[in-house]
Structure 1
Amino acid sequence: MQVCSEIRLPGLITLADLAVPDVTIRPIDVPEALENVVAAGPNWQRSADQFLLELPAIGRFLLEGGHSIGFARAPDIGDQDIAIFLAGTVFGILLHQRNHIVLHASAIAVNGKAVLFCGASGAGKSTIAAALGSRGYTLVTDDQAAITLDDAGTPIVHPDGRFLKLWAGSIDALALDGRKGEAMRGRMEKFYVEPVGSSTAAMPVGAVYMLFEDRPPRVAGIARPNVVDGARLLLANAYRPILIRRMGQQQKYFQVGAAIARAAGIFTLARPLRFTAMDDTVAMLEAHWADIGLTTAPNGMEPQG
């Protein structure tokens, strides 16, 4: 998806030549309320083709038709602060407007298929994606994964053109200091990190892993829940699940989750969070990819295409 923004959005890969953009972002006079509201929450309203969001002390945002975002910043809010919300929460809502399934996930490419890592903030999604990137796997998405179904009903993941977002400790542990960019916000010790390689093509889902720490009663390993439980896990890892419920999209997510569970597989991955265990986690994943047919080599290292 190509975005034309009148405000700089750190952490997005810049294109040299931009064709007709899919999405435009610009400052406008954002209304305080919408007409013909069909649903509303404490700080948002939705009509048939518009979505109005107010973030206190940040700004107001008007999303229209899944193709434009207008914003009006609160007093004393700089570009860096508002850009974080534009590229995060606001863009996630826009993807919902475009009828995408949006997961809180990072993804890498394994032999032409997207392998997704889902989990709450701090679960290690970006860190695992970065570790795999250092081993030759290209990044597909970071933090948000947009999924559609093609005409055959196959779940397809769309690349997002984002940099990784990593804490300083992860950057040091993975020896990525040479790729570290600016801090996300102020003095926050979280930074944009240029991936070793990025995918630009949409691709089918190869597997989805729900991340957990191996604390009792969980033990380290990979397990496959049944289709219903897998679909429930996917719904729980939707990007902004409260909004999904308020927009009445739970059934849609459940149906797509069931399709992914049947076609590709939804798995739980429990592992230690310490960096010294990362090699073991990667080895466990690569062995699993061979077991489920994503790769034929026992170490998973085939052309990543």
Structure 2
Amino acid sequence: MHDRSTHVNLTMYTAFGLKLASELYLPELIPAAPGAVEDVVIRQADLTAWSDQLEQANFVMQGEHFMFHIPDTAIYAVRGGREIEVCSYSGADPDTVRLFMLGTCMGVLLMQRRILPIHGSAVVIGGRAYAFVGESGAGKSTLAAAFTQAGYRMVSDDVIAMQATASETIVYPAYPQQKLGLESLLHLKALQGNKHARKSNHGLALMDGNPAMLKNGHLRKLTGELNKYAVPRVDYFHNKPLPLGGVFELVAESPNREFQREGELAAVTEQPLNMLEFLHTLLLHTYRRVIIPRMSLGEWHFGTAARMARQVEGWRLLRDSSAFTASEVVDRVLDIIRKEENSYGSYSFDEGS
């Protein structure tokens, strides 16, 4: 285990709308501007006194103090929305330590700060953030990557930080990295050069029969993730808060009559969600939602999701799971948003918007 040092330098980063002062090196994150005041401190600490208790339970809750344990990786403590402590095991993979710190720890910390973490990806369209949610394998990250390949900017992947005000929901940018499977990477490579794609300095390439790599360097395989790779998106990242424009729930299904349209099999079909269906979707796809009752945040969770469901529209997109449909889903999403915003007249969908 790491011994906590009494004299360490803290590096300032920005993520999820917060300034993070960290003892741990976090190369995935964007450095904060000079002189920034931290919202959260991330430290290494000796948490071994909790080892026995954590081996008997998945996590431990004591008020605003949340602790959990990942075997052979680390013990983590998240305190009051302001502090994350990490106790790494000797020999633990640093990438894996950061994976849980930037995932579960940040999800819990956001909830402690009453910012709702939604499990999904988000991109900028017409000056607003649109979120894509769904079960694992539904195609959330792949769709966001297809949008960036078409010239749109990414806001978040995996954890979307949302805060509902009285009049709108604000989406805070996460950090410029995506988790993409090898199959998706290969399909996106094949799409390069089509009507959606634009030229990139970070095109995907296959080299020497190895898994997908960037032309300018190897993609890092994520430990513990089956054939998933960390894909940097610095060139396509929007790093300012945005109002939420809407939410799309992605559902991958086998071809059936749901995809039947005018006598032909449609690759993608949409279903508008009524307010109750949309509310259920937000509650269902809240990141790490199983711990919310233990944190006594059930009333806040429901109230926040209900407010969001009243402020924006939600849709369910059914896509053919037997085919790679990212390009078709991009088309359908843009069509839906154009129709929704048609009355505004000046809505822009230019690349890079």
Q: Residue 171 in 1 paired to residue 191 in 2? A: no
- Alpha-carbon offset, residue 101 of structure 1: 0.7
Q: Deviations over 1:68-112 (max 9, x none)?
A: 211112343231221111111122111111111111011001122
Bigger Cα displacement from structure 2, 163-172 vs 282-291: 163-172
- Alpha-carbon offset, residue 144 of structure 1: 0.2
Q: Residue 108 in 1 paired to residue 112 in 2? A: no
- Alpha-carbon offset, residue 254 of structure 1: 2.7
Q: Residue 268 in 1 paired to residue 316 in 2? A: yes
Q: Residue 120 in 1 paired to residue 135 in 2? A: yes
Say if 1:289 and 1:300, in contact at 8 Å, map to a contact too. no
Number of the residue aligned with 1:55: 70
Identity level (%): 27
Distance 1:133 1:237 in 2: 23
Say which SS state the counterpart of residue 2 (structure 1) adopts: strand
Structure 1 runs not aligned, ≥5 long: 34-40
Question: 1:1-305, aligned counterparts within 5 Å?
Answer: 1-15=18-32, 17=34, 19-30=36-47, 32=49, 42-150=57-165, 152-175=166-189, 176-177=203-204, 178=214, 181-185=219-223, 189-195=227-233, 196-215=235-254, 216=256, 218-219=258-259, 220-273=268-321, 276-293=324-341, 301-302=349-350, 304-305=352-353
Bigger Cα displacement from structure 2, 21-30 vs 43-52: 43-52
- Alpha-carbon offset, residue 4 of structure 1: 2.9
Larger Rg over CA atoms:
2
- Alpha-carbon offset, residue 17 of structure 1: 4.3
Q: What residue identity is the alignment partner of 2:239?
A: T
- Alpha-carbon offset, residue 45 of structure 1: 2.5
Say which SS state the counterpart of residue 160 (structure 1) adopts: coil
Q: What residue identity is the alignment partner of 1:291?
A: K
Distance 1:198 1:97 in 2: 26
Say if 1:119 and 1:211, in contact at 8 Å, map to a contact too. yes
Q: Structure 1 pair 272/294, CA: closer, same or farther in 2 (3 Å)?
A: farther
Distance 1:283 1:298 in 2: 19
Distance 2:219 2:93 in 1: 19
Bigger Cα displacement from structure 2, 14-23 vs 210-219: 14-23
Say which SS state the counterpart of residue 143 (structure 1) adopts: strand
Bigger Cα displacement from structure 2, 172-181 vs 162-171: 172-181
Distance 1:164 1:218 in 2: 31
Q: Structure 1 pair 170/118, CA: closer, same or farther in 2 (3 Å)?
A: same
TM-score normalised per structure 2: 0.76
Say if 2:142 and 2:326, in contact at 8 Å, map to a contact too. no
Distance 2:25 2:348 in 1: 38
Say if 1:224 and 1:267, in contact at 8 Å, map to a contact too. yes
Distance 1:82 1:156 in 2: 29
Say which SS state the counterpart of residue 76 (structure 1) adopts: coil
Say which SS state the counterpart of residue 212 (structure 1) adopts: strand
Say if 1:283 and 1:299, in contact at 8 Å, map to a contact too. no
Q: Structure 1 pair 187/31, CA: closer, same or farther in 2 (3 Å)?
A: closer
Number of the residue aligned with 1:36: none
Q: What residue identity is the alignment partner of 1:133?
A: T
- Alpha-carbon offset, residue 54 of structure 1: 2.3
Q: Structure 1 pair 186/251, CA: closer, same or farther in 2 (3 Å)?
A: closer
Say which SS state the counterpart of residue 283 (structure 2) adopts: helix
Q: What residue identity is the alignment partner of 2:184?
A: S
The size of the alignment, in residue pairs, is 298
Say if 1:238 and 1:244, in contact at 8 Å, map to a contact too. no
